Amino acid sequence: MEISWLDTLEEKVHLATERIRELANENRELRARLEEAGTSSEPGEWQEEKDAIRERVEKLAAGLESLLAEE
């Protein structure tokens, strides 16, 4: 059975995971800079963005699960 598509998918997921890590680090750095500048962000300000990101990641995970279930 040919599963080279799985290798490609796995590589893309790893790349996406690494990018998410990079963005999380950048987010921490930006928050620290905001705090240093005397501007604090309220948790509620980011909730909508976090919800949108969570929804997209959940859809991606569901798509991956459905691919695995097809086998």
Both structure tokens of 70: 């097809």
pLDDT tens-digit readout, 17-67: 999 999 999 999 988 888 887 755 566 767 888 888 889 988 888 888 887
pTM: 0.48
Predicted pLDDT of residue 40: 54
4 — pLDDT class (breaks 50, 70, 90): confident
CA-nearest of 8, 14, 49 to 30 is 49
- What is the structure's pLDDT at 67? 78
3-state DSSP of the chain: CCCHHHHHHHHHHHHHHHHHHHHHHHHHHHHHHHHHCCCCCCHHHHHHHHHHHHHHHHHHHHHHHHHHHCC
**pLDDT given for residue 22 in this prediction:** 93
